[in-house]
Chain A
Amino acid sequence: MDDHAIVAACAKGDSHALRSLHERHARAAYTFALRLLGNPADADDAVAEAFYEVWRSASKFANRSSVRTWILGIVRHKALDLLRARGARAEEAIEDALTDTLVDPGPTPFEWLAEHQTWEMVDRCMQTLPLPQRESFHLFLLEGLSLQQIAQLQGVPDNTVATRIHHAKRKLKLCLTEALGVKKAGPKTDSVL
């Protein structure tokens, strides 16, 4: 049974169908929520809230997007609600950080970074990204969503998403370069920056 049929079953009150959706998408939802919230307990809350919302609004699902994108969109809303409840100024957090000053991370080659960076560094550096960039980068890299899908989910133009991902990459590279203690001293090959 495909996702759309499962959502239709949910709309008719079939809780087994919701469980199928949960089995298929809850982990991705949790990873996404954790990326936004940075806290496992809050991420778990956001996922549970989101799937309850899926249950309640299944009849409103318009089939205009994939079910995964729809669910991630709901998770996003719940995560932002939690951020607001926490007292974080979510409106500011989700504001675009396009005015950030881009610092050239230097000519450290990607291959060298790929070889030396650790998961902890990557995770820590991801958390330093502004929320919109972190969100776009996560959805693009880990969920494989297209720019259009991310743009629809975030409610911004496609180019904005492209810009966010571009900035996210540069900042990530800079952060990892610094974490590895490299100060523009790495090998001078294969840099696109």
Chain B
Amino acid sequence: MTDIPSQPTGERPSASPGEIQWLDRIRQQLEGAAPPFDHERNWQRVAARIDAERQWDRAQNRRSRERRPWWWALMAYGMGAATAAILMTVVASEPWRADTAVVPLGAEESTAKAAARVRLQVVFSDQATLAQVRAALSPIDAEIVAGPGRLGVWTIALPSSSADEAEKVLRALPIVESVSR
């Protein structure tokens, strides 16, 4: 009781003996006249809440089990097995080991087409740009099959039906130095 604060500040001088006696008397009176408390009844209330909570939890668990049809577990196992089988198949095929060499899809076709067409050997001027070459070949439906070789000769293929006309067109272009079959 000696540390009962008698002042509102951090410095709390000890209460006087009279004050201590008075406060002690208050404590005794309040403790002595403590209101009746039904310990057991209060505990039963707490215990009832806990029991209700446990029953609720059990009921929830049971309900969640009961809600599933009989075939639910079977289906779950089946889906798991199927997933595992698919994974194993994919892993066994080792897709990451597939040949990574790139084969241009158009290469064979172009070659085949070129075989069915007329081929011309064209020499473009050294000043000709790639854009100009493309612009020259596109209207006559020609495509480069090979080249340029060491001497700057390009081999192009074009429809045989228009080969003669195309040859004339090419010869007339300023970027074309020579055309031959």
A residues in contact (CB < 8 Å) with B: 15, 18-19, 22-23, 26-27, 30-31, 34, 40, 44, 47-48, 51-52, 55, 109-111, 113-114, 117-119, 122-123, 126, 140-142, 147, 158-159, 162-163, 165-167, 169, 172-173, 190, 192
Contacts and interface: CB of A to CB of B under 8 A. Distances in A.
Interface of B: 4-10, 12, 15-16, 18-19, 21-27, 29-35, 37-39, 41-43, 45-47, 49-50
A172 B46 contact: no
Contacts of B35: 30-31, 34, 40
A52 B30 contact: no
A31 B16 contact: no
Contacts of B43: 19, 22-23, 26, 51
A9 B12 CA distance: 41
B42 A166 contact: no
B42 A26 contact: yes
Contacts of B25: 113-114, 117
Nearest to B45: A48
B39 A26 contact: yes
A110 B21 CA distance: 7
A110 B27 CA distance: 14
A48 B46 contact: yes
Contact of B4 (A48, A126, A140): A140
22 contacts: A18-B50, A23-B43, A26-B39, A44-B38, A48-B42, A51-B46, A110-B22, A111-B18, A114-B25, A117-B25, A117-B26, A119-B33, A122-B30, A162-B9, A162-B10, A165-B4, A165-B5, A166-B5, A190-B16, A192-B6, A192-B18, A192-B19
B23 A169 contact: yes
Given A119-B33, A190-B16, A166 B46 contact: no
A192 B16 contact: yes
Contacts of B6: 166, 169, 192
Contacts of B39: 22-23, 26-27
A111 B22 contact: yes
Contact of A113 (B22, B30, B41): B22
Contact of B46 (A55, A110, A113, A162): A55
A167 B16 contact: no
A127 to B, nearest CB: 12
Contacts of B37: 26-27, 30-31, 44
Interface hub of B21, B31, B41, B42 (most chain A Cβ within 10 A): B42
Contacts of B38: 44
Nearest to B15: A192
Nearest to A192: B16
A147 B23 CA distance: 16
A159 B8 contact: yes
B163 to A, nearest CB: 91
Given A19-B47, A162-B12, A172-B26, 6 more contacts: A22-B39, A34-B35, A140-B4, A142-B31, A159-B9, A165-B5
List 9 A-B pairs, minimum CB-CB distance, nearest first.
A110-B22, A110-B18, A163-B8, A114-B25, A48-B45, A190-B18, A162-B5, A119-B33, A119-B29
A72 to B, nearest CB: 15
Nearest to B31: A142
Contacts of A110: 16, 18-19, 21-22
Nearest to B36: A40
Given A44-B42, A162-B10, A192-B16, A52 B49 contact: yes
